[in-house]
Amino acid sequence: MSFFEMLLSSAWFEVIAAVLLTILIFVTSHRPAWWFWTATSHEASAPAEGKFKTVSKVPGPFSLPIFGTRWIFSCIGYYKLNKIHDAYKDLNQRYGALCKEEALWNFPMISVFSRQDIETIIRRNSRYPLRPPQEVISHYRRTRRDRYTNLGLVNEQGQTWHDLRVALTSELTAASTVLGFFPALNIVADSFIELIRRQRVGYKVTGFEELAYKMGLESTCTLILGRHLGFLKPDSSSELATRLAEAVRIHFTASRDAFYGLPLWKLLPTCAYKQLIESEDAIYKYVWTGIERVENSFATLATLSCVQRTIRRRANFQYHFGDHRDHYTGETRRRERRVGGGHFSIHSQTKEPRYTGQESGHCRFHSGRYTHGTRNNYSNSTISLLSSLIDLSLVTNYFTSLFLHFSQLGNTLVFLFDLIGRNPTVQNKLYEETYALAPAGCDLTIDNLRKAKYLRACITESLRLIPTTTCIARILDEPIELSGYRLTAGV
């Protein structure tokens, strides 16, 4: 019997099929539908099925076995990954308020387009809303426990997510933070307008998307680092600025390709996975470079940026004593601090310290203990302050918020100006409102923005029509009725 005949024999065919199926299940993390079946859930949903249509009745593109509807973004599909907003606009026109896509192994994903349905989902009270994480980024951060103590605000769930959200968003969205940041933002906006004037030819601005991303990066760095990095200067040639902007762009492109493509990165490092980890490492490095550049420029609390003042307050008032539970091992670390001195120690139950024999400037880490070296007054140094906390979740949130805000603001400006530019009536109303609130030559104030109702309405509608980022999703923890359909928990 030849090799090929043996290979095609029934026994060998069954073995090969079983091996391939096992690999496919592992790669896609498949859980069959019966895994989640319960008798009670079926009985409870029976009466509602007569009144509402079920998930299976939601219209959507043709679904292939196992692969679902991911083919629509492939080479044989009719949508392009760099035009996802156009794809979902077409899906809305084709299928209405709800559209069903299917992920690998035909798990349903419902796209919601109706404003009323979106508000219904958001208003569902839940302390810990379930959100599908970015699997590829979560996987990478688990492999870098030396750097990340958690998966980040976007990927965490439950109590950990809640703690991160409270620590970050409550301070960044506080009125004092906004008021403190607003004058600097006015300067950034003026620089952005001047850059547009220099770039335009007649009434046409070439490469506006790149300018919008520079605006997002400059404003975010101003908020977090407390200084202007010069992204909006006409002759800007900063190597840090250029590389950081390119790293962020590659990061989002690689994340998109990894999400919509087959998860082959679980078996071998694909091109998208390599690009993602390289860009994430680059962003992390450039963020720290930015911190190091400004660490010596702050002498008092008044000169610190809003975010740095927040970190300092938390360092002085919330990190005296505390139990820190490692996200991955579940082990408890006891933290002690004597504020004002240079002493900080971590007593860990783990055998291996987080840092061993590593030196960075004046900060030395050994056997789980931090020694502040010759620079005891760490309150004057941002990098020393962050290092002294030995809580890399703060750095992770800082790092995550940087490129998230960068992408969101850049995309928001592109889509908002595109929608406004298509409607002369809207342009005239906006001009009349803004000119009445803040005539030419006057800086905008917080009170002006509160009164700019039409401008706020345009921004809100733009975010509804073209979401700033993709994959804004919820996993239902209880059944819900939307547009005549009853969606079960887990969708």
In tens, the pLDDT along 35-76 reads 434 333 444 444 445 578 888 899 999 988 888 898 898 888
What type of residue is 389? L
Residue with token string 């860990």:
348
Enumerate residues 6+ apart whose C-beta is below 8 A from 396. 147, 148, 149, 150, 152
What is the rounded average pLDDT of the residues 430-452?
84
What is d(CA 283, CA 269) in angstroms, rounded to the nearest whole number? 20
Task: Give residue 331's pLDDT.
Answer: 43
Task: Give residue 255's pLDDT.
Answer: 85
Q: Which residue has the higher pLDDT, 247 or 57?
A: 57
Contact 470, 84 (CB under 8 A): yes
Cα-to-chain-centroid distance, residue 244: 16
Q: Which residue has the higher pLDDT, 187 or 404?
A: 187
The answer, yes or no, to whether residue 205 has pLDDT greater than 70, is: yes
Q: Which domains does the chain have, with CATH numbers?
A: 51-131+474-490 (no CATH), 162-307+390-422 (1.10.630.10)
Task: Give residue 95's pLDDT.
Answer: 93
Helix ranges (DSSP H) in 338-483: 382-389, 392-421, 424-437, 446-451, 453-465
Q: Is 29 left (phi over 0), alpha (psi -120 to 50) or beta?
A: left
Task: Give residue 327's pLDDT.
Answer: 42
Tokens found for residue 22: 């096992």
User: How high does pLDDT run on average in the chain?
Assistant: 71
The two beta strands, 363-366 and 485-487, are: unpaired
What is d(CA 400, CA 432) in angstroms, rounded to the nearest whole number? 38
The answer, yes or no, to whether residue 428 has pLDDT greater than 90, is: yes
What is d(CA 20, CA 25) in angstroms, rounded to the nearest whole number? 9
Q: Which of 29, 485, 450 minimizes the C-alpha distance to 267? A: 29
Tokens found for residue 455: 């401008």
Enumerate residues 6+ apart whose C-beta is below 8 A from 53. 484, 485, 486
330: confidence class by pLDDT, cuts 50, 70, 90: very low
Tokens found for residue 2: 């030849």
What is the rounded average pLDDT of the residues 119-127?
83
133: confidence class by pLDDT, cuts 50, 70, 90: confident
Q: What is the pTM of this model?
A: 0.66
